[in-house]
Amino acid sequence: MVNPENRMNAIQLQAKSLGIDLDALPSHIAVIMDGNGRWAKKRGLVRLLGHREGYKTLRRVLLDCSELGIQYLTVYAFSSENWRRPQEEVSGLMALIEAAARDELRLMHQNNVRVRVAGRVSEVPQGLQNALHHGIETTRSNSGITFTLAINYGGRAEIVDAVKTLIKQGIDAEQVSEELISANLYNPDIPDPDLMVRTAGEMRWSNFLVWQSSYSELYVTEKSWPEFGTDQLLEGICQYQGRIRKFGAVVDD
């Protein structure tokens, strides 16, 4: 008889050793990847090198989540407010994201990852738009983890765009409901995040998935994003599983 543990991969075994219930994992993890620039500055490097290191971290975390059995991973790659940064950094980020979208596509496709985007993507450089569109189309039929890149994304802007859509549809004010707004967000088929991860010790939402994360559990680590690894991912899941999710109701202890 085959031992069920023999069918587990390394990260599943590590998770189990920490007491994580593999049958009660968060379905959707969202990540605010913070601290790339500070990580670089501490090492006397330019900020863009911190972003490059953060890109390597993202590859590892995506594969970890995929191997664990997480169904959805959404990451905050570039906010609508990030345009305020120095032009050199913005241009470097756009080029880095485009290169990553092209270079990592084979790996994502081989690992059955389905690629999605969220945000006002029509406003980013055309080359990046093309790379993202190619990734979405190439992986459309994949059935593994859904990886969503939030780029030129703002939570408030997403709600504004949803409301504009309802107005264009001629929806009467009395018909507007939470369900109707949710159905007109960027990716209405993706469930709300169960767990929100933020790195570099910051204790704020920063306009990320503000509608969808109303009842997300929050895990904050002092580690900057380039330092984030499997141990921090599993620690966040441990904390998630140790909490009682009430959704506004009263739950007996």
Q: Check which CATH number belongs to the domain holding 235 and give it.
A: 3.40.1180.10
Q: Which pLDDT band holds residue 139 (cuts at 50, 70, 90)? A: very high
Confidence of residue 248 (pLDDT cuts 50, 70, 90): low
**Considering its fold, how many domains does the chain have in total?**
1
Q: Is residue 61 part of a domain?
A: yes
Whether 82 is catalytic: yes
Q: What's the pTM value of the predicted model, to 2 decimals? A: 0.94
Give the pLDDT mean for 63-91: 96
9, 21, 34, 111: which one is catalytic? 34
Residue 250 lies in a domain: no
pLDDT above 90 for 251: no
What is the mean predicted confidence (pLDDT) over 3-22?
86
**Active-site residue (options: 64, 82, 103, 253):** 82
> From its phi and psi, is residue 97 left (phi > 0), alpha (psi between -120 and 50) or beta?
alpha
Query: What value does the mean pLDDT take over residues 141-168?
Result: 98
- What is the Cα–Cα distance from 131 to 190, expressed in whole angstroms? 22
Q: For residue 93, is pLDDT > 60?
A: yes
Find out whether 132 and 108 touch, Cβ atoms under 8 Å.
no
User: Would 128 be classed as within a structural domain?
Assistant: yes
Q: Is residue 225 part of a domain?
A: yes
Q: Does residue 200 sit within a domain?
A: yes
Provide the residue range defining the domain that includes 35.
23-241
Angle, helices 87-103 vs 47-68, to 10°: value is: 30
Residue 16 domain flag: no
Judge whether 192 lies within some domain: yes
Q: How far is CA 120 from CA 72, 143, 160, 161, in A?
A: 20, 25, 12, 9
For residue 252, being part of any structural domain is answered with no
Give yes or no for a contact between 118 and 158, defined as CB atoms under 8 angstroms apart: yes
Neighbours of 92 (CB within 10 A): 18
